[in-house]
DNA sequence: CAAAAACATATTAAACAAGTAGGAAATATA
DNA sequence: TATATTTCCTACTTGTTTAATATGTTTTTG
């Protein structure tokens, strides 16, 4: 499984978009600044997210990015898929003529398939709406803490 | 999460050992040949497994390797740990002075911690005994198929 | 027209993966 | 004791990936 900085930045940026682009587009630059991400790197990430249909863009001055779907419809799985490619552990053909076919099959079914299933279990069931909610609740909590 | 060829080879080799070194040590070379793995590469893998206390070695001519514990006591998690290092998705400190602390925390708790928990769930509960059993059952099944 | 922004492509430095090379040390066996 | 076998150890190589940078072009608003 891959979970690179790219995916991490992607999720951060999408939560940022969910919170900050409710009504209109938000510039990449502002997202980058708010979250301490290199703007040029974030461009590559947004390009991939746009190609995957997760966000859409408005060109030109005062342009920016918006979510292309409701937060409830965007899953962590989709985001990782768009940025890091297949997040599953990939099957590997066992070497020609070796007698480990059976062993490979065993590892595939007892370890790899199991892990992949659990990954789906988590990643397809966390939506951007969940993430946004969790974030806002934490913020609220921290605000309250501050005033005590 | 990392699941490199190194770990895959390690698991293959350990199942091979479980099956073939019941009574006495088995040479690395024979394990490598049976499973189509480069012997020199497998040496590095066995070295790591030995340092981790998962296997033990008998030096000299007619020497070889054996499991250091009963198969029920060796988990997939231990093997991956020994070969690929920590298999968890690792936490990453968010960039200094950025305001994404909250967002990072959200991703950590809702995605990363969840995935890591599920990984443990699978990997700490699959033992070499399970793998060996599954392998032998498959073999038996294939044998029967062959004679029909 | 000028500034702001998205869009696009190439390059780079560092790390990692998967192996190879070459030998030193230990030991069973002849 | 000599030899072959086998573990053990360190360094090197080659290709890929990651996380960026660099350098623009295009589009649109004011």
pLDDT in tens, B59-94: 999 999 999 999 999 999 999 999 999 999 998 876
Q: Best mutation site among B2, B15, B38, B107 for testing chain A: the one with the most A CBs within 10 Å? A: B107
Taking the CA atoms of residue B135, residue B137, residue B142 and residue B145 in that order, the dihedral angle to the nearest 10 degrees is -170
For residues B9-23, b (16+ Cβ closer than 10 Å) or e, as one string?
A: bbbbbbbbbbbebee
Q: Chain B residues with CB inside 8 Å of A106's CB?
A: 15, 131, 134-135, 138
Q: What share of chain A is helix, strand, coil (3-state, %, to 5)?
A: 60, 5, 30
Chain-centroid distance, C-alpha A6: 9
| pLDDT at site A140 | 76
> A98 and B3: CB-CB below 8 Å?
no
If you average pLDDT over residues B88-111, what whole number do you get? 82
Q: What is the pLDDT of residues B10-67, one digit of tens each?
A: 999 999 999 999 999 999 999 999 999 999 999 999 999 999 999 999 999 999 999 9
Residue B122 has its nearest CB partner, among A2, A96, A115, at A115
How far is Cα B138 from Cα A111, in angstroms, rounded to an integer?
Answer: 15
pLDDT at residue B108 is higher than 90: yes
Checking phi first, is residue B61 left (phi over 0); if not, alpha (psi -120 to 50) or beta?
beta
Q: In this structure, what is the dihedral angle of CA atoms A123, A128, A133, A139, given to the nearest 10 degrees?
A: 100
Contact A87, A80 (CB under 8 A): yes
Neighbours of A24 (CB within 10 A): 10
Instruction: Provide the pLDDT for residue A104.
Output: 95
The tens digit of pLDDT for each residue in A47-63 reads 999 999 999 999 999 99
């Amino acid at each position: 499984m891959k979970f690179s900085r790219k995916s991490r930045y992607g999720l951060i940026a999408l939560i940022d978009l969910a919170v900050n682009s409710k009504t209109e587009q938000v510039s990449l630059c502002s997202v980058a600044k708010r979250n301490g991400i290199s703007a040029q790197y974030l461009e590559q990430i947004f390009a991939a997210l746009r190609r995957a249909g997760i966000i859409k863009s408005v060109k030109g001055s005062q342009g920016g990015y918006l979510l292309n779907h409701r937060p409830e419809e965007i899953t962590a799985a989709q985001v990782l898929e768009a940025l890091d490619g297949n997040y599953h552990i990939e099957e590997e053909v066992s070497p020609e003529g070796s007698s480990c076919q059976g062993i490979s099959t065993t590892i595939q079914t007892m370890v790899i398939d199991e892990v992949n299933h659990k990954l789906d279990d988590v990643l397809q069931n966390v939506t951007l709406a969940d993430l946004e909610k969790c974030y806002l609740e934490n913020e609220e909590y921290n605000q309250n803490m501050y005033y005590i």
